[in-house]
Amino acid sequence: MVKHPDSGKAGFQRRLTGLVKVEQDEVRALLWSFSYFFALLCSYYIIRPMRDEMGIAGGVESLQWLFTGTFLAMLAAVPLFGWVTSRYSCKQFLPWIYLFFIANLLLFFVLFRSGLTHAWVARAFFIWTSVFNLFIVSVFWSFMADIYSNDQARRLFGFIAAGGTAGALTGPALTATLALPLGPTNLLLISAGCLSWAVFCVRRLIAWRDGTAGKAATGAGTEPDGKGEGMGGSIWGGLRLLAKSPYLLGIGLLILFYTTLSTFLYFQQAQIVRDSFSDPAQRTTVFAAMDFATNGLTILIQVFLTGRIVKALGIGWTLALVPLLLGAGFLVLGLAPLLGVLVIVQVVRRAGNYAIMKPSREMLYVVLGQEEKYKAKNVIDTAIYRSGDVLSAWAYAGLQALGFGLSAIAFIAVPLAGVWSWLCYKLGREQEKRAQPEEKLL
């Protein structure tokens, strides 16, 4: 008996529908989005080990300056991105952003192949990679919020986020496998190849969005840019939008709480692991095991649970879930600052962030206009994010200087997590309120 050529495709769609609530006319866009995010994070995680090595090559004693340089580079990039989005349409600037980063990778490839190993080149690569990471992810989620409606975001963002997790697993595997036979420098070309595939995915998604199905699914406040016009506004439009919108300011504050508590836990992780193991190889093994557990748990939740959690709890409680769990984790860590407790808290926090909080946080932007989705979101995801890193690192150091120990700082983090969870809930409720007019039209 000869199988009908469409039977395999139909079977695949049935299996996909069993995993995620996707409509037939959304399948193509969902798979392109999954592939797009996979390519982006695979590209980054291929070169991330090189970045860490360049941080050492640039001088361990200069690491604090590298973080400062990254923050300053973010501040310089914000008005540049604002200028690009004001002047050019989405279908024009999205591919060119990734082509720009591809050109950067090729330039570093030439510099490294030329034998130019000056410390300033290493430092430049470290800063560039740190900027590259936040920018490509921020622009990706801006685009997702732009092409999908609120209902689609609730159903599909968890599965799309799983594409990034798969890329984050594949990238290091490629690096570990190919770094010795090919040499680290040649990995830059593989990273550039992944970005090239991302450009192709962008073009396919724009074509879908501009088609009949895409036009029907366009999110609130978004217009298909068939005329090829930019968004208008000033290069500082993101800061202006942020300053006059309590909703956007709330999202910015959410990010500051996130970076503060994540940094606190990261510093406590460093202290507990250092005190638990004297052998660097043992410490490396612990970190690797935590990464593996985190990524494995993340992709399981993203594929099977994220969409269902959002549907059952709503965006408000879904956003508040991870802060509530982290507050409980800090409480237990303050009572018992042990390695086993730390590992459980850190794995649950990171997996919960990647699988639940990150996708639901990106849903906050779906109900906004296009300029807010790109300009204001970029300010929040880059400048505010990195400023939170810097401020929280100094805050933790200040608490230690005042004599606060690990347990005391963990207890201080508990009420901060409580305020964070309240803010998340309020933002989620506001998102649902803003989404109601759109859903009534469907």
Closest alpha carbon to 167 in 133, 207, 129? 133
Mean pLDDT score of the chain, rounded to an integer? 82
Tokens of 252: 């910015």
Task: Identify the pLDDT of residue 53.
Answer: 62
CA 309 from centre of chain? 20
Domain boundaries, the chain: 25-441
Task: Identify the pLDDT of residue 218.
Answer: 46
- Pick left, alpha or beta for residue 219 (phi over 0 → left; psi -120 to 50 → alpha; otherwise beta): beta
Tokens of 290: 């935590």
DSSP labels, 246-264: HHHHHHHHHHHHHHHHHHH
Cβ atoms of 264 and 392 within 8 Å: the answer is yes
Q: Which residues of 261-288 are buried (b: 16+ CB within 10 A; e: fewer)?
A: bbbbbebbbebbbeeeeeeeeeeeebee
CA 319 from centre of chain? 15
Neighbours of 203 (CB within 10 A): 13
**pLDDT exceeds cutoff 90 at 425:** yes
Angle of helix 306-335 versus helix 406-441 axis, rounded to 10: 160
Cβ atoms of 46 and 195 within 8 Å: the answer is no
Contacts (Cβ under 8 Å, ≥6 apart) of 199: 95, 98, 99, 102
Q: 358: part of which helix (H) or strand (E)? A: helix 358-363
Mean pLDDT within 230-241: 66
**pLDDT exceeds cutoff 50 at 244:** yes
- Between 79-88, 312-321, 350-359, the lowest mean confidence (pLDDT) is in 79-88
Residue predicted with more confidence, 230 or 83:
83
Task: Identify the pLDDT of residue 226.
Answer: 44
Output the CA angle 272-274-278, nearest 5 degrees: 135
Query: Is 318 in a helix, a strand, or coil?
Result: helix
Q: 338: part of which helix (H) or strand (E)? A: none
pLDDT one-digit tens code per residue, 284-300? 567 767 777 888 898 88
Task: Identify the pLDDT of residue 420.
Answer: 97
Long-range contacts formed by 276-284: CB under 8 A, 24+ apart: 276/339
Q: In the Cβ-directed half-sphere of 93, how many Cα atoms lie within 13 Å?
A: 23
Tokens of 231: 């968004």
Task: Identify the pLDDT of residue 220.
Answer: 43
pLDDT one-digit tens code per residue, 366-415? 999 888 888 888 889 888 887 888 788 788 888 988 999 999 999 999 99
- Between 204-213, 224-233, 248-257, 284-293, the lowest mean confidence (pLDDT) is in 224-233
Output the CA angle 225-231-237, nearest 5 degrees: 155
**pLDDT exceeds cutoff 70 at 99:** yes
In CATH, the number for domain 25-441 is 1.20.1250.20
Please tell me the distance from the alpha carbon of residue 230 to that of residue 88, in angstroms, as a whole number. 4
Task: Identify the pLDDT of residue 316.
Answer: 93
Dihedral sign for Cα 274, 280, 283, 288, please: positive
